[in-house]
Amino acid sequence: FLAINNREKAIILWFILLVVVVCFNTKIRNSIRHLITAFFQKKLVQIYFAMAMYIASITFFFHTIGLWEVENLPTTLKWSFLVAFVMLFKFDKASSPDYFRSSLRDNIKILVIIEFIVNFYVFNIWVELLSFPFMVMLSLMLAISETDNQYEPAKKLFNGILITIGISLIIYAGLKISSNPNAFFTFKNFENFYHPIFYSLAFIPFVYLVALYSNYETLFIRLSFFVEEKSVLRYAKYKSFFAIKFSIKNLNSWSRYINSNWRFKSKQEVDDAILVFTESIKRQKNAT
């Protein structure tokens, strides 16, 4: 149940080394402390708690319908820390019109299969210990090379190296599978493959709601700057929510519209603005 492979052991050992370095370096320790403080801001902690409750609800549902058992807990925890947090911090992409379609595509595309097959086969501990920092540095250098067009040659080089390594690992995994297919094609491995996909798909609505909440919060803060009357401000917030509801696209359009056209001195102005805006949305839908 708690067995870990050599790759996971290597990651844990490097993490322990990082902790030791941090403990003995004041500058790094202060930077890490500031980073941790920022990561655990009160509002973020509330979102993390909501995320944990949502994942627990997903897990309970999967367990109820027979798709999750206690032995799947390690896979669930790995998905939570390595995938769910990444999806959460990319919530700004939820405003894209094709967010659900692109998220679905990203979670079932062939790269998921490749990643699963490659990660199933690991090397001895010394190879994993040496390859992990190399891959981290390579990924960081690739990320830096993507920040400016002048680094385009370096970007092509790093991409080429990663592609070569990826193809080599796929070939290695393919040879391993062909030599012992029974070790790979097991129900346990099948579970490890589909669980992260199901969790990711079920997690998409939560990310969307976080994005929706964030955009409403931005709108309400903006309203508070130019709506002086408290009763009008409360009315504007209330009417905005019930006019826009759950459409991030319309919410962003509404925010831009009132920012350039209205200052809401009265409740009637709020009603007039919403009427004009909703009519324009209807005309746009009819035109398409």
Give the amino acid at 234: R
Find the radius of gyration of the CA atoms of the chain: 24
The pLDDT confidence band at residue 178, using thresholds 50, 70 and 90, is confident
Highest mean pLDDT among 28-37, 76-85, 87-96, 165-174: 76-85
Residue 95 has pLDDT above 80, yes or no: no
Q: What pLDDT does residue 79 have?
A: 85
Highest mean pLDDT among 57-66, 94-103, 184-193: 57-66
Q: Give me the phi and psi of 18, to 5 degrees please.
A: -60, -45
Q: What pLDDT does residue 1 have?
A: 43
Spatial separation of the C-alpha atoms in residues 187 and 19, rounded to whole Å: 37
Place of tokens 């058992």: 69
Contacts of 249 (CB under 8 A, 6+ apart): 95, 97
Task: List, in sequence order, the alpha helices (H) in the chain.
Answer: 6-24, 26-39, 42-64, 73-79, 85-88, 99-108, 110-120, 125-145, 152-179, 181-184, 187-226, 230-244, 248-261, 267-287
Give me the mean pLDDT over the 132-152 stretch.
Answer: 78
Cα angle 273, 278, 283; round to 5: 130
Q: Name which of 82-86, 118-122, 160-164, 263-267 the model is least confident about.
A: 118-122
The pLDDT confidence band at residue 42, using thresholds 50, 70 and 90, is confident
State the average pLDDT for the chain: 81
Place of tokens 């999806």: 87
Place of tokens 């959460």: 88
| 8 A C-beta contact, residue 97 and residue 213 | no
